[in-house]
């Protein structure tokens, strides 16, 4: 997610990024407005408006992030996309009350901004009377009034009860007070998908944008349901349950050529480089290919191995490894019990373990129905 993103600063310990696609939006807005009779000036106003709007989006994300921080949930970063901001949490809040407050905090920020703007605009007599405006005036509403409308819309849109919108999480959290999180997620995801189909349907008759919003919600709702299913399939399992005990260890003087042989002669795609039994690096297919193209067969593996490998304890929850490995974008980890090297774990093992768990669970259901 961080590739091609511009870091714009760190606030309260959270790095804010702008994704490259955001600049497409800026250029598009400029060109759309610059085509109007007022030309370039109008284009600049259009861009300033989008920047002000996205500043409100960043504040919305900080509403989530700072509330999350109070409950011990760490936000890794906030990235701005043309569709809005995305906060990446390192974990998800478990308690319904925490999830409810974290989810409501974002839209509340927009409600506060909209209220502040409304008080300012009405006390200074700047609220336009929409019933007396002609079409050209409606298209050129005052800057702060437009920002007020946009914030009110952000609050309402985000509270639609469908994942990935905040409203989907609010709904799940409310259900979570009465039922398990997995059941709550299933119901909330189903409602989200029904709403999404409704949006797509309405979109064909009224506004085509609704079709895109509907597809976005449909995919988001599905993703959330899969995430929760994974979590419940892995519940109760630890890293030890999916550990690989058989793997090839390379010495620090091994060459890339030897690593290539090991890659071709086994089913393994990652190797531990160890010195006197102590792991000093990890070599995946990527590092082997890189070593081969820039150093050749004779190069030492130690020059190309990844020394910032990811370490997990055998007693860690398997779901935690699953979450962390996607957060760190590393699919393999070394399993260390204190100083003792126990083996390797990768996402493929976790997926296999999950399939086995699901097969066992379906057998259990079959037995319980008496077949
Ligand atoms: Zn939000």
**Nearest partner of 161 among 175, 146, 141, judged by Cα:** 175
Q: Give dist(CA 150, CA 346) in Å, integer.
A: 45
Q: Is the pLDDT of residue 108 over 90?
A: yes
Tokens 């057998």, located at residue = 363
Q: For the ranges 186-200, 246-260, 333-347, 353-367, which has the lowest average pLDDT?
A: 353-367
**pLDDT tens-digit map of 125-167:** 877 777 766 666 666 678 888 899 989 998 998 898 887 788 9
Q: Tell me how far the alpha carbon of residue 100 lies from the centroid of ligand 1, in angstroms.
A: 12
Q: Give dist(CA 113, CA 108) in Å, integer.
A: 9
Query: Domain extents for the chain?
Result: 5-128+137-159, 180-235, 239-356
Q: How far is CA 9 from the centre of its chain?
A: 19
CATH number of 239-356: 3.10.580.10
Q: Give dist(CA 84, CA 75) in Å, integer.
A: 17
Q: Tell me how far the alpha carbon of residue 83 lies from the centroid of ligand 1, in angstroms.
A: 12
Q: Tell me how far the alpha carbon of residue 106 lies from the centroid of ligand 1, in angstroms.
A: 5
Q: Tell me how far the alpha carbon of residue 158 lies from the centroid of ligand 1, in angstroms.
A: 6
> What tokens appear for 332 in the block?
């393999």
Q: Tell me how far the alpha carbon of residue 40 lies from the centroid of ligand 1, in angstroms.
A: 33
Q: Tell me how far the alpha carbon of residue 185 lies from the centroid of ligand 1, in angstroms.
A: 18
Q: Tell me how far the alpha carbon of residue 133 lies from the centroid of ligand 1, in angstroms.
A: 33
Measured from the Cβ of residue 165, the count of other Cβ atoms closer than 10 Å reads 25
Q: Tell me how far the alpha carbon of residue 216 lies from the centroid of ligand 1, in angstroms.
A: 15
List Cα–Cα distances, 261 to 31, 239, 251, 366, in angstroms.
56, 29, 14, 46
Tokens 């929760």, located at residue = 228
- Residues pairing with 300 in the sheet: 255
Q: Tell me how far the alpha carbon of residue 255 lies from the centroid of ligand 1, in angstroms.
A: 50
**What's the pTM value of the predicted model, to 2 decimals?**
0.68
Q: Are strands 84-89 and 75-81 parallel, antiparallel or unpaired?
A: antiparallel
List Cα–Cα distances, 288 to 282, 310, 345, in angstroms.
10, 18, 19
Q: Tell me how far the alpha carbon of residue 117 lies from the centroid of ligand 1, in angstroms.
A: 20
* For ion ligand 1, residues whose CB falls within 5 Å: 106, 166
Q: What percent of the chain has pLDDT over 70?
A: 92
Tokens 């003792």, located at residue = 340
The pLDDT-based confidence of 365 (bands split at 50, 70, 90) is low
With residue 84 as reference, give the H or E element that holds it.
strand 84-89
Tokens 């701005």, located at residue = 80
pLDDT of 134 reads 67
Asked if 78 and 87 count as a contact pair (C-beta separation under 8 A), the reply is yes
Q: Tell me how far the alpha carbon of residue 290 lies from the centroid of ligand 1, in angstroms.
A: 40
């Amino acid at each position: 997610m961080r590739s091609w993103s511009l870091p714009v600063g760190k606030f309260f310990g959270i790095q804010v990024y702008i994704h490259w696609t955001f600049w497409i939006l800026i250029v598009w807005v400029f060109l759309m407005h610059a085509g109007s009779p007022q030309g370039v000036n109008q284009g600049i106003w259009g861009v300033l408006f989008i920047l002000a709007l996205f500043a409100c989006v960043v504040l919305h994300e900080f509403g989530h992030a700072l509330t999350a921080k109070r409950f011990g949930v760490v936000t890794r970063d906030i990235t701005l996309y043309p569709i809005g901001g995305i906060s990446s949490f390192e974990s998800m809040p478990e308690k319904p009350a925490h999830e409810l407050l974290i989810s409501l905090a974002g839209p509340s920020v927009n409600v506060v901004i909209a209220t502040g703007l409304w008080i300012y605009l009405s006390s200074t007599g700047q609220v336009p009377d929409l019933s007396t405006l002609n079409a050209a005036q409606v298209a050129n509403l005052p800057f702060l009034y437009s920002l007020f409308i946009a914030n009110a819309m952000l609050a309402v849109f985000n509270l639609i009860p469908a994942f990935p919108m905040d409203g989907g999480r609010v709904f799940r959290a409310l259900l979570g007070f009465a039922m398990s999180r997995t059941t709550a997620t299933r119901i909330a995801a189903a409602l989200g998908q029904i709403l999404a189909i409704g949006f797509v349907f309405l979109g064909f008759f009224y506004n085509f944008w609704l079709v895109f919003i509907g597809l976005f919600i449909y995919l988001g709702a599905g993703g959330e349901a899969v995430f929760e299913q994974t979590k419940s399939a892995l519940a109760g399992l630890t890293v030890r349950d999916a550990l690989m005990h058989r793997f090839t260890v390379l010495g620090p003087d091994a060459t890339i050529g030897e690593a290539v042989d090991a890659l071709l002669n086994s089913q393994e795609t990652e190797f531990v480089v160890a010195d006197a039994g102590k792991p000093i690096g990890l070599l995946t297919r990527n590092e082997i290919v890189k070593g081969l193209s820039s150093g050749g067969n004779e190069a030492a593996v130690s020059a190309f191995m990844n020394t910032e490998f990811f370490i997990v304890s055998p007693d860690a929850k398997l779901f935690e490894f699953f979450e962390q490995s996607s957060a760190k974008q590393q699919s393999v980890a070394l399993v260390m019990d204190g100083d003792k090297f126990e083996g390797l774990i990768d996402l493929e093992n976790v997926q296999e373990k999950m399939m086995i768990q699901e097969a066992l669970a379906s057998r259990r259901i079959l037995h319980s129905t008496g077949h």
